[in-house]
Amino acid sequence: MTPVREVDVLLVGAGPGGLAAAARLAAAGAGRVEVLEREQRAGGVPRHCAHGGFGTWLHPLTGPAHARLLTDAAERSGAAVRTGVTALDWTGPLELATVSPAGPETIAARAVVLATGARERPRAARLVPGTRPAGVYTTGELQQAVHLYGQRIGTRAVIVGAEDVSYAAAGTVRAAGAEVVALVTEAPRAQTAAVRAADARLRHRVPLLTGTTVTELLGHGRLSGVRVRRRDGRTAVLACDTVVFTGDFVPDQELARRGGIALDAGTRGPAVDGALRTSRPGVFAVGSVLHPVESAGTAAREGAHAAAAVRRWLAGGEWPGGVGLLVEPPLRWIAPNRVAPGDHRPFVLRTTALLLRPVLHVTQDGRPLHRERHVSAAVPNRTLTLSARWTGRVDPEGGPVRVSAA
Amino acid sequence: MTVTAHGPLPPVPYDVAVVGAGVVGCAIARELARRPGLRIALVEAQDDVGQGTSKANTAILHTGFDAVPGSLEARLVREGSRALAAYAAESGIPVEPVGALLVAWDEEQRAALPRLAEKAERNECHDTRILGPADLYAREPRLGPGALGALHVPGESIICPWTTTLAYATQAVRHGVDLHLNTPVTGVSHTGGPHRLTTGRGTLTARHLVNAAGLHADALDRHLGHQDFTVTPRRGQLIVYDKFARDLVRHILLPVPTALGKGVLVAPTVYGNVLLGPTAEDLDDKSATGSTAGGLALLREKGRRILPALDDEEVTAVYAGLRAATEHDDYAVAAHPGQACVTVGGIRSTGLTASLALAAHVTGLLEDMGLDGGPARELEPVRMPNLGEAFPRPCRQPELVAADPEYGTLVCHCERVSRGEIRDALAGTVPPRTLDGLRRRTRVRAGRCQGFHCGAAVRDLWERHRHGPQEARA
């Protein structure tokens, strides 16, 4: 048995959510606050997003700069940010077995915050048939290869997907000196800001193939092309030596699941209430593991919010569970996915279908709680929000609260 | 120790050339290496060992309970099974004796169970038992509804097929076998003197020849004038499910064999995943190792019936391989004393289990035709790195990490592969020549993220190793 070391708050994952929570907690004097990061550098996904869009309107930053800022802030406030440390498994309700070059260690905490992030579903999990050649990437791997390691990729890349992350992947392909053959999506239109789609099409002359599915990868050794099928049944082969599977994020919820923490059927991440409390007293969750994926800014704001909830728990707070919060098709998921009367932070949702000016209806046991009209369209794979103005009307003893779109 | 992958081949004649470094060819080379007087070449067309049918099997260490009684396959599987179990224990090859259940889904299949039990008996597998539905569901609570009973075969195990092949090759090379990779054999001539093998890397001569060329064994045999069998590549597509699926299944779940073949199974893997497959598609193309939409749809449909909860789990990997099916019901092992040649053809998915017994059998045939390497010696045991979940990985061994912190520096998080294990594999006796080779040796980027997190870091380690110190300085 390895000896058990005790800390006050243990955060797993040094991405924006974990780092922001750690900074607030340490600054507020929550005791020993420790962040475990299995990578060699802290910062999470922004580390390899070598493009803008991070920080604030007043202080725009690139991903790596944002990652450094968050890491510095956590360390300056007194949190211990330990890189190269992997949380392997639970050894108790609030106790984790870890390993690092210094050896195995068991760490017990008064509160644990899971900030383990998300990943893109890789080719195999999407069941894309064909051979298994080299040259098959996800955006995450591509960005690290190009921006962190300066590795060469191929010369002609097909990007699967047409959402924000897909356009980021196209940018990385160009930064690596390769050509983007096309963006390919099953959707009828791009799922990004119109200006971004237009820029790719007009300035960079990247074709967007909508209503198109990648049906087979070709080539032995190195990728030689992808076979695609249009909605009308026509097929074609796009010659390429690189293909990037983008988006289709899944939460990295392994640790939560290993611990028997309840997962939400929609997000597949840990189910949490408005104070980011999971089903296990003392265990919180923040960031993209809850909602694969939202922006780094959202994760960081959530981290700050979780810090306040953790402090209330450390001061002897209760662990009310709230009632379940469910969505009805075509809505795909909502987070948080449990709700209690005091909750005041907005909810994030996803839809599977395009909804022009949707009206969201919130009901509990058939009783209408709220109705919210959106002026802009809800687009699949883009953020849709719901305010928390209605949570005071939730009956904590009642059945699940349902959100539907009309 | 000699492993080559390019350049001319040694001009001096070998005593034996084994063509094909699959699990069978490697086992034969290892067995021959016990004769210190022999000069042995192991010749492989691909850039690594175990790249043909050996990597397409279902990773089961069989008892041989369902072999044709009295056949060569039945005997060699039975003997090989015991030998491999002992070898695996000695060499650190992960094996889990989980047992198998042949599940009957209709009356006809249930009626076939007693006959299968009797056949198992004749194959010297004495501990099988027929289970009723209550016992079956007690053993496999997540099994889909409608199963009527099963035959329990406790002796069936799961094994790491890759480590087995690499262990044989490693031991063979350490005992003097020359392994020549990237050496496709395109022709053989035998005119009185030694065999002259025409290869992609020039001519190789050998007094004795072992044809263990798997999918291409028939073509090589034709060069020697034999028409004993024809290999039809039979494609098997397989789906590997996430490790979270491992808790859903305890045994190897086999269908009751029908005229149409052995069918689709669900089995745990020693890596902690769940395997669903294989399909059985007879093809013409010996390079058609791609998966297809139809094949994957078929597997998922079967999987939903056998283990419905599997459908909710993520898929980690999909692969397809070709088995060397022939028109015969048995292995096609033939000695051609006049040509100083042994053909080892038609080795099906049981070849992994039978490999050590096949090697002994083939060596016996060679000795019968006059091969004399002196008295057999004991080989220095090999100790393979553990890739199995049932045994502690290096990062979970405090004394190992304390002695070498590289074992506590994890690179691949899904499979918990440390930098120390990658370093060891790169410095191995039979080192990887590609990133895929490194994956097979360490499981690096074989997990659920498939390289999203670690792919670039692994490639960086690989390229630094390949380009040597000048790259590291830059």
Q: Tell me the CATH number for domain A122-247.
A: 3.50.50.60
- What was the pLDDT predicted at A174? 96
The beta strands (E) that lie in A252-392 are given as 283-285, 323-327, 331-335, 338-339, 347-351, 359-364, 367-373, 384-386
Residue A81: in which H helix or E strand, if any?
strand A80-83
Average pLDDT of span A368-396: 94
- What was the pLDDT predicted at B259? 64
Question: Per the structure block, which two tokens stand in for B161?
Answer: 């097929």
- What was the pLDDT predicted at B469? 52
Would you say residue B471 has pLDDT above 50? no
Would you say residue B63 has pLDDT above 90? yes
Average pLDDT of span B81-88: 98
What percentage of residues in chain B have a pLDDT greater than 90?
91
Q: pLDDT tens digit string along B191-202? A: 878 999 999 999
Last residue of a domain, one of B292, B324, B356: B324
Judge: A99–B318 Cβ closer than 8 Å, yes or no: no
- What was the pLDDT predicted at A309? 95
Judge: B408–A119 Cβ closer than 8 Å, yes or no: no
What percentage of residues in chain A have a pLDDT greater than 70?
100
Would you say residue B474 has pLDDT above 60? no
Would you say residue A345 has pLDDT above 90? yes
Last residue of a domain, one of B324, B347, B380: B324
Cα–Cα distance, B30 to B34 (Å, whole number): 7
Average pLDDT of span B353-367: 97
Query: With contacts defined as CB-CB under 8 Å, which chain A residues touch B413?
Result: 38, 86
- What was the pLDDT predicted at A90? 98
Average pLDDT of span B158-175: 98
Q: Are residues B281 and B314 in the same domain?
A: yes
User: Cβ of A156 under 8 Å from any chain B Cβ?
Assistant: no
Smallest CA-to-CA distance from A336 within A281, A254, A401, A380 is with A401
Would you say residue A377 has pLDDT above 80? yes
Q: What are phi and psi of B345, to 5 degrees?
A: -115, 170
Would you say residue B56 has pLDDT above 90? no
Would you say residue B145 has pLDDT above 70? yes
Contacts of A112 (CB under 8 A, 6+ apart): A9, A10, A11, A12, A94, A96, A282, A283, A284
In chain B, the residue whose alpha carbon lies closest to the alpha carbon of A144 is B456
Chain A residues 84-113 within an 8 A CB cutoff of chain B: 84, 86, 88, 99-104
Name the band, by pLDDT with cuts 50, 70 and 90, for residue B472. Answer: very low
Q: Which of B290, B410, B456 sits opposite A129 (nearest CB)?
A: B290
Q: pLDDT tens digit string along A126-144? A: 999 999 999 999 999 999 9
Cα–Cα distance, A268 to A339 (Å, whole number): 17
Cα–Cα distance, A211 to A235 (Å, whole number): 12
Q: Considering just the CA atoms, what is the radius of gyration of chain A in Å? A: 22
Smallest CA-to-CA distance from A342 within A272, A394, A290 is with A394
DSSP code per residue over A237-269: EEE-SEEEE---EEE--HHHHHTT--B-TTT-S
- Work out whether the CA dihedral A253, A258, A259, A261 comes out positive or negative: positive
Do B289 and B295 meet the contact criterion of CB atoms below 8 Å apart? Answer: no
- What was the pLDDT predicted at B261? 65
Q: Are residues B225 and B243 in the same domain?
A: no
Chains A and B form CB pairs within 8 A to the count of 115
- What was the pLDDT predicted at B440? 96
Work out how many domains chain B is built from and give that number.
3
Q: Which of B315, B406, B409 sits opposite A125 (nearest CB)?
A: B315
Judge: B413–A144 Cβ closer than 8 Å, yes or no: no
Q: Are residues B148 and B264 in the same domain?
A: yes
What percentage of residues in chain A have a pLDDT greater than 90?
90
- Work out whether the CA dihedral A72, A78, A83, A87 comes out positive or negative: negative
Q: Are residues B342 and B354 in the same domain?
A: yes
Cα–Cα distance, A190 to A197 (Å, whole number): 7
Query: Which whole-number Å values give the CA distances from B430 to B7, B177, B227, B387, in the listed order?
Result: 17, 12, 34, 17
Q: Is residue B264 part of a domain?
A: yes
Q: Is residue B105 part of a domain?
A: yes
Cα–Cα distance, B152 to B120 (Å, whole number): 11
Question: Per the structure block, which two tokens stand in for B433?
Answer: 């020549």
Q: What does pLDDT average to over chain B?
A: 94
Q: Are residues B171 and B225 in the same domain?
A: yes
Q: Delimit the domains of chain A by residue range.
A: 1-119+250-321, 122-247, 322-406
- Give the ipTM of the model, two decimals please: 0.94
Smallest CA-to-CA distance from B216 within B191, B184, B245 is with B184
Smallest CA–CA distance, residue A14 to chain B, in Å, is 14
Cβ atoms within 10 Å of B280's Cβ, excluding its own:
17
Do A14 and A42 meet the contact criterion of CB atoms below 8 Å apart? Answer: yes
Q: Are residues B237 and B150 in the same domain?
A: yes
Instruction: Kindly list the catalytic residues of B.
Output: 62
Q: Are residues B287 and B436 in the same domain?
A: no
Would you say residue B473 has pLDDT above 50? no
Of residues B304 and A56, more confidently modeled: B304
The CATH code of the domain that includes B12 is: 3.50.50.60
Residue reference for tokens 């990578």: A39
Average pLDDT of span B152-180: 97
Judge: B244–A257 Cβ closer than 8 Å, yes or no: yes
Contacts of B312 (CB under 8 A, 6+ apart): none
Q: Could you check whether A1-119+250-321 and A122-247 share the same CATH topology? A: yes
Which domain range does residue B194 map to? 2-55+161-230+328-368
- Classified as helix, coil or strand, B442 is helix
Q: Is residue B80 part of a domain?
A: no
Judge: A141–B448 Cβ closer than 8 Å, yes or no: no
Name the band, by pLDDT with cuts 50, 70 and 90, for residue A245. Answer: very high
Looking at the domain covering A1-119+250-321, what would its CATH class be?
A: alpha beta
Q: How far is CA A93 from the centre of its chain?
A: 25
Q: Are residues B237 and B147 in the same domain?
A: yes
